[in-house]
Amino acid sequence: MQANLDNVMLSIGRSLVNGKIQFPDYIRRLKFDVGLSKDAVQSLHWLRTDPELAVIGFEPLQENISAVLKIVDREDRSLNLSARFIILPVALADFEGEHEFYVTDDDAGSSSLFKPVSHKLRSVTKVRTTTLEKVLRYVELDKYKRIDFLKTDCQGADFRVILGAGDLITKFAVVTVEADSQGYEDSDDNSEYNFDNYMTKYGFVRINPRTELRKEIGKVFSRSKIVDQLYRLFKTQFPVVSPLYPLLEVDDPTYVNQIDLELVKNGRVTAYQRG
């Protein structure tokens, strides 16, 4: 089971032109969503709010892909989601080939390339793996000189995803990661410390829309299910943003490419990630 992307594209009914992924001519911006789960909540929000955007999503579990496609099919056809949203049935990592994938029983969105510490397992399967560097070779980088946003939510494997981009990580303007180094076995490298050092090396600066005080408040509220639900509703109604970056609505560690700082500050590049 190899993740040769030519074959992957054929398997999902997408043709390549001169070896490149094609989007409608009116597309001006690209975003990458790594880890769609069963509802692709982030991708669908991006697509609904930006008609000139295309998204490349990554999800290795077919049951999750099927659930997302049902949502896409129900959407207003005027959004043209089928032309603007590509879902690649692969897991991103720092190698190409295949790997065990741990499917969790309570929440398929908690499934991972790494064995979970606390989630109950439903099954272990094999999935295709590829790298961001390989995928980016299929993107018209001359046309899309910058990819606005990379969001990873990979349950302990996010750092491996970033490593898999190599030098091409600099093609992204904003990168948001889930820095969970405790919830999955062998994910010690998936730490904020490693992300900070690595992204800084490639010319990114970290921004922190959520203050430390608000983080602590969130931890306290999360102890009560009812209060936590009210707090999440509050966050939905009142976006957590930074005065310097008002159009970056993100919860997790986020890095902005220094060469794109002005574009982010004036709102020409946006990022949205909740939960």
Domain ranges for the chain, please list them: 5-209+245-273, 210-242
Q: pTM of the full predicted structure?
A: 0.88
* Mean pLDDT of the chain, nearest integer: 88
- CATH hierarchy code of domain 5-209+245-273: 3.40.50.150
> Angle, nearest 10°, between helix axes 212-221 and 225-237?
140
Give the number of other CB atoms < 10 A from CB of residue 61. Answer: 20
Q: Is the pLDDT of residue 215 over 70?
A: no
Task: Give the C-alpha separation, 66 to 139, whole Å.
Answer: 24
Judge residue 231's burial from the number of C-beta atoms within 10 Å of its C-beta, 0-12 exposed, 13-18 middle, 19 or more buried.
middle
Which carries the bigger pLDDT value, residue 108 or residue 59?
A: 59
**Sole residue written with tokens 């099954």:** 123
Q: Is the pLDDT of residue 217 over 70?
A: no
| Res 235: pLDDT | 56
Are the C-beta atoms of 136 and 20 separated by less than 8 Å? no
Least confident of 34-48, 70-84, 155-169, 212-226: 212-226
Find the mean pLDDT for residues 118-128: 93
